[in-house]
Structure 1
Amino acid sequence: MTTTTDAIIVGGGSSGTAIQCALARAGIGRTVLLERGVLAGGPTGRSPAILRQQYGHAELVRMAQFGIDYFHSWQEHSSGNCDYRRIPLLAVAGEENLAAFDTTLEIMRECGARVEPIAPADLGRWIPGARHDDVLRAAIEPDAGYCDPHATALSFAAQARTHGAQLMQGVEVLDLLRSDGRVCGVRTATGDILAPIVILAAGPWTPMLAARAGVTLPIRTVRHSVAQLLRPAATPAMEVMLADYINGIYFRPEGADQCLAGSLRGADTADVADPDRFDEGISEDVFVELAQRMVHRVPDWTELGDGGGWSSLFDVTPDAYPLIGPVEQLPGLYVAAGLSGHGFKLCPAIAHMITAHITGQASRFDLALFSPERFAAGKPIVGRASYHYRTPLLA
C-alpha cells in the first residue's frame, strides 16, 4: 500500500519528535514520523538529559540557550510534561584544561550566558566534602538543569498529533525512494510512503539509511556508559550537577539518593559499536573507574553504593559537531544526526533550524555551519576551546 504526506521524519528520539512538533506548529500538519521501535527507545531514552551551555563554539552556546529557554517555558508550546528541573552546574578545571576552561567561560559570557566564578576553596558550599586542592578554576552555571528524556519525546509527539501529525511506531524504514534526482519517500515493510521531504533523525542508524540512497555521512557510532551511583546515607543530598574537567567526569542527581555519572574523556567513548548489536550494560571496570573518579572529588562518598548502569550510543562526526540541514546531492533529504552526545539539549534549536529552512523563514542560527557536506568541502567546524586529558586515569 502506498500513502502520501508532506514530510517524513525517520527517528522517534528527541530530535525527530522535536522536528515533527516544530513542523506541525509551523503549519505543516501532514507529516509522518516513523520509529523502528518505540519513542525514545534508542539513545534518547538512555540520556542523562542534562541542559548546559558550556561549549567551545558560540553557535552551540546560543543553541543550548535556546533549548534551556524552550524547556523552561515548556507549557507555553508543548503538551504533557518534560519533567524539567532547574539545578546549577558546577564546573571545575585544573592545570591541564585551564586555558580551554577560561575560553569556554569567555564564550559563554560573550553570548550572554550566566556563569559565575567561585573560589576553589568554596566548593564545599555546593558539594559538601568536595576536594579542591587540585582545582585552579571553578564556576557555577545557574541556568543549567535536566529533564526526563522519555517524557520529553512523548510530549513532543503528543503536541504534534494535536496539529494532525501522524506517528507510526514499530515501523522500520528499509530504503529511501528517489525520482528525478531527488528523494520522494521511503519504503517500509508495510508499504511505501511518498513525500517531497524526508528528514533523517535516526541517530546511529542515520548513516546506514543515507548510504542506501548513495549519500555518505561521516558518522561513527561509539558506546558511552553511565553509572548509577547510590549516595552514602550519611552524606547530604545533592543540589548541584558537576562537570569535572580534571578527572573527566560529569554527574547529576537522580532521585533522592542516587546520581548518574559518565566520562568526559573522549578516550572512554572510542569503541566503535554496531547500533543493532552492542553491549547495553556497564562493565565492572568502567563502573569502578567512574566511582573512583567520583570519590576523588568527594572523598566522603567512599561508601557509595552500586545502583548499576547502562551503555548507550553516540553518533559522532570527525569534528564532534552535528550534521544539520539539507543534503545538497539529494534534494528533499534533510539530516539531523552526528550529535555527538549533545542532541537532547540542542533538539529545540535543531527543530527550529530545519523547520525554518523548509518553510522559508529566517533562522536564529547559522544552518550552513552544520552542513552535511562541510567535510567534503574541507570546512570542518573548529571551536575555540577543546578539552584533552593527557594524564593517566585514576588508579
Structure 2
Amino acid sequence: MTDSFDILIVGGGVVGSSTAYHLAELSNSKVGLIERSQICSGGTARSCAIIRSHYSVPSNTALTVKSIEIFRDFKKYLGDTSLESGFVQSGYLILAPEGETSDKLVENLKMQKEIGAETMQISHKEALEFHPLLNLNDIGAVGYEPFSGYADPYLTTTGFANAAKRQGVELITNQGVKKLLTKGNKVIGVDTESGVIHAGLIILSTGPWIKDLTDPLNIDTYLDISRHSVITLKSESEYDFKLPIIKDLSTKNKMYFRPSSGGVVLVGTGDHGDPIKHPDLMDEEIVDDFIINQGRQISNRMPSFENARVTNDWVGAYDITPDWNPVLGEPDGWEGLILAYGFSGHGFKMAPAVGKMLAQKAVGIEQDIDISPYSHSRFKEDLLLSGAYGIGSIS
C-alpha cells in the first residue's frame, strides 16, 4: 500500500469512483482511492439508479443534464468498449395532481429547457401511449423526458473505478479509514487499519458514514440519516423493461417506480424515511405497513397491479441535509479537505458530472458547472437550496 498521494479519495461508491476517473483524466496528480470493503459495496449498491433531469433547483438540473450525456455514451466517454453502465433509455414521466403542483411542474419544465434538458409537457393521451397501464384520472399535468432512464449501480461504479485504475489511480480496497490526521487546521492524511497514508488533499465521499470521520474534527455535517425501503412487485403479465420511469407527485411519499429485471416493477419513495442513528445499525426488515401503502398507491396508478405480489425487498440509508441537496466543497475552518456528501437520495444520477466538478475543483480548474451553491457554509448562512415540491429527492 502506497503511503502518500497528492490526492486521496475516501469512499468507493459512484461519486468517489467518478471523481477518481476524472482526476486521472484532468491531471498528472498521484491519486489514490481507499474503500473499507469493495468498490460499490456501500450506499451505491442499494441505489435504484434512476437517471433524470427533473429538478426545481437549476444547478441540480445542470449537473444531471451533463450526467445523462455521459450515461448515454458511457463506453466512449471512458474510452473503453468493455466498460458498461447498464443504461436503459426508458424515458421518464412525472405526474402532478391538479392545482398548485401542476403549475409548479410546468414552470420547472420551462427552467429545465433553458438549461438544456430534453423535457416537455405532454397530454394524457400521449402519456398513455408511452405507458398504457397508467390511470391518470387524478393527474393535472405530465412531464416527459425521452432520453432519461435507469442504469446498473455496480457496472457504473466499477466502470469508473476500472477506468481510473487503467490511468494510474491506485485502488485500495478492504482497508478502513479509522480517522483523519490533522496538523493545525489542515488535514494531512488518514490513519487506516494498516497504517498511515499522507495526502496533500483528502476528498471524503463516504455517504452516510461521513460523520465517523468528521465528528472527531467537530465538523457539523447537518445530516439526518434515514432508512428507505424498496420493493419489487410482479403482476400476472411481465412488466416491460422499456416502460418509462414514473414519478408520482400526487402521493404523500413521492412514490416512484421503474422496470427491473425479471419482468417486475421496482417501487420506492422520495420522502424522509425512518430516522436511524448509524447506517451499520440499520434494520433490514421491511415493515408490513410500507408494503400495504405502496401496494395501495401502485394499484391506484396501475390498476392491473391490484393483485400484484412482492418478489423482493431491501433497504438503504439516505444522508439527508436540511435542504435535501449535497455538500460539495471545503468545510468551514479546514484546509486540505473536500467534502462530497448529503446527496439525499439523488446522488447516483448526479455522480458522473459531480465527479468531474470535484476533480476540477481539486486541481484548481474552473468548474464547467458552478458548484458553489452546494457550499458547506450555506446552512449557517441561511442560503438553503429551496425546492418547489417541498422536501424530498425531487428538489
Q: How many pairs does the alignment contain?
A: 386
Q: 1:72 to 1:237 in 2, by over 3 A?
A: closer
Q: How far off is 1:10 after superposition?
A: 0.8
Q: Residues of 1 paired with 2:159 and 2:134: CA distance? A: 37
Give the counterpart of 1:324 among 321, 328, 334. Answer: 328
Secondary structure at the counterpart of residue 85 of structure 1: coil
For the 8 Å contact 2:223–2:320, the answer to whether it is kept is yes
CA contact (8 A) 2:323 2:391 kept: no
Q: Which secondary structure state, in structure 1, belongs to the residue aligned with residue 281 of structure 2?
A: coil
Give the percent of matched residue pairs that are identical in Structure 1 and Structure 2. 28
Match of 1:263 among 243, 264, 269: 269
Paired AA for residue 12 in structure 2: G
2: CA distance, partners of 1:122 / 1:12: 41
Once residues 241 and 281 of structure 2 are traced to their aligned partners in structure 1, the CA distance between those partners, rounded to angstroms, is 37
1:188-216 deviations in Å (ceiling 9; x for gaps):
11100000101110000112211222322
SS in 2 for 1:218: coil
Unmatched 5+ stretches in structure 2? none
Superposed counterparts of 1:148-297, under 5 Å: 148-233=152-237, 239-247=243-251, 248-264=254-270, 266-267=271-272, 269-297=273-301
- More deviation, 102-111/216-225: 102-111
Which residue identity is paired with 2:292? V
SS in 2 for 1:170: coil
Task: Give runs of aligned pairs for residues 49-68 of structure 1, distance below 5 A.
Answer: 49-68=49-68
Give yes or no for contact 1:29–1:165 (8 Å, CA) kept in 2. no
Partner of 2:110: 106
The equivalent residue for 1:334 is 338
Deviation for aligned residue 1:102: 2.2
Alpha carbons 2:225, 2:277 under 8 Å: kept: yes
User: SS at 2:372's partner residue?
Assistant: helix
Work out whether 1:71 is the aligned partner of 2:74: no
**Partner Cα distance (1:357, 1:230) in 2:** 45
Say which SS state the counterpart of residue 200 (structure 2) adopts. coil
The residue that corresponds to 2:355 in the other structure is 351
Question: Are 1:381 and 2:385 counterparts?
Answer: yes
Q: CA deviation at 1:371?
A: 0.7
Contact 1:230–1:306 under 8 Å retained in 2: yes
Amino acid at match of 2:87: Y
Query: Is this contact kept in 1: 2:51–2:68, CA < 8 A?
Result: yes
1:2 Cα shift?
Answer: 7.8
RMSD: 1.9
d(CA) in 2 for partners of 1:159, 1:236: 32
**Which runs of 5 or more structure 1 residues have no equivalent in the other structure?**
390-395
Stretches of 4+ aligned residues off by more than 4 angstroms: 234-238
- Tell me, what secondary structure is at the counterpart of 1:138? strand
In the aligned structure 2, how far is the partner of 1:353 from the partner of 1:236? 36
Greater mean deviation of Cα atoms: 139-148 or 226-235: 226-235
Indicate the residue corresponding to 1:141 in structure 2. 145
Give, in angstroms, the shift of residue 245 of structure 1: 0.8
What's the CA shift for 1:270?
Answer: 4.2
Contact 1:225–1:311, Cα closer than 8 Å, also in 2: yes
Q: How far has the Cα of 1:158 moved from its partner? A: 0.5
Q: Report the CA distance shift for 1:368/1:238 in structure 2 as closer, same or farther (over 3 A).
A: closer
Q: Quick one: distance in 2 between partners of 1:223 and 1:235?
A: 27
